[in-house]
Chain A
Amino acid sequence: MTKAAVKTLAILNAKAPYSNTAGKDALDIALIFGSFEQSVSLFFQGDGVCQLISNQDGAIISVKDYLKTFSAFEFYDIENVYACKASLEERSLLASFHIKEVQVLSRKDFADKLTLHHTILRF
């Protein structure tokens, strides 16, 4: 890709939700890129996949639940949301997600998709 090409951002989410702000901090970046009509893709690996699981409820532990904002991805034209299959399996998690955009990818496909991007930030 040449220097003049459009730059794309991938955000690699590696942490579980709630106990720290990593997921929320990553989401804020994604939404800003979306609102500036910049291409942004979201990847979930390791404990990051826990951010995608259905039926979570941060309100129970007094967290303002940023996961609910994931439903705004469509509005922001964030269509590329990828989960690592191996990470889901390692955690015995069913592929039951609270948003519909999620694509579950094998380790190799996950790596291939990720490395299509120019900039990768990991939270």
Chain B
Amino acid sequence: MDFLAEFLQANMTMIYVLILAIYLGLELISKVPTVLHTPLMSGSNAISGVVVIGAIILVRSVESNDYLALSLGFVGCTLGMINVVGGHAVTNRMLEMFKKRK
């Protein structure tokens, strides 16, 4: 309880960021038409690949002889990158049909 209060006060700004971001997340797509459900899912899934950033930082910060960490990190980077790149690519394909005819 007390610990919680502490914590709250310490990270209040952070919490604001959270709340605002969450609300924004909801607000942004609240009016998406059904057709876009899948593309949107795929797109945001690609974004969820941000974890790759974590992987990168991780690999950068471990000693270059700690092979376990490195290889795990390597795997992480690869997987994350697949998620990111593949995700966006797939999304883009899904959205082909929305090319404007002129």
- Asked if chains A and B come from one complex, the reply is no
